[in-house]
Amino acid sequence: MPHTEDPAAPRVAVVGATGAVGTTLLQLFTERDFRYRSLELVASARSAGSTITADGAERRVHDLATFDFGEVDLAFFSAGTSVSEQWVPVATQAGALVIDNTNAYRMDPGTPLVVPQVNADQLAERPASGVIANPNCSTIPLVRLLRPVHRRWGLARVVASTYQAASGRGLSGMAELRDTSRDSLDRPDRMPEGERFSPALAFNVVPSIDRLLDSGFTLEEQKMTQESRKILGLPHLDVTATCVRVPVLNCHSEAVWVECAEPVDRRELVRLLAGEPEVAVHGRDEPGRFPTPRTATEADLVHVGRIRVTPQNPRAFWLWLVADNLRIGAALNAVQIAERLPAYGWRLRAEGGRPLAGVGR
Catalytic residues: 137, 252
Helix (H, G, I), strand (E, B) or coil at 119: helix
Helix (H, G, I), strand (E, B) or coil at 351: helix
| Residues 6+ away with beta carbon under 8 Å from 311 | none
| Residues 6+ away with beta carbon under 8 Å from 35 | 2, 3, 4, 6, 9
| Residues 6+ away with beta carbon under 8 Å from 254 | 138, 141, 142, 160, 161, 162, 163, 320, 321
CA distances from 164 to 34, 64, 255, 343 (A): 29, 30, 11, 34
CB 127 within 8 A of CB 109: no
Alpha helices (H) along the chain: 20-31, 81-93, 116-119, 139-153, 170-186, 219-232, 266-274, 332-343
Q: Which long-range contacts (CB under 8 A, 24 or more apart) does 308-311 make?
A: 308/266, 309/264, 309/265, 309/266, 309/269
Q: How far apart are the first and last CA of the chain?
A: 27
CB 219 within 8 A of CB 210: yes
Helix (H, G, I), strand (E, B) or coil at 97: strand
CB 111 within 8 A of CB 97: no
Question: Of 46, 40, 45, whose CA–CA distance to 17 is shortest?
Answer: 40
CB 306 within 8 A of CB 319: yes
CA 296 to chain CA mean position, Å: 17
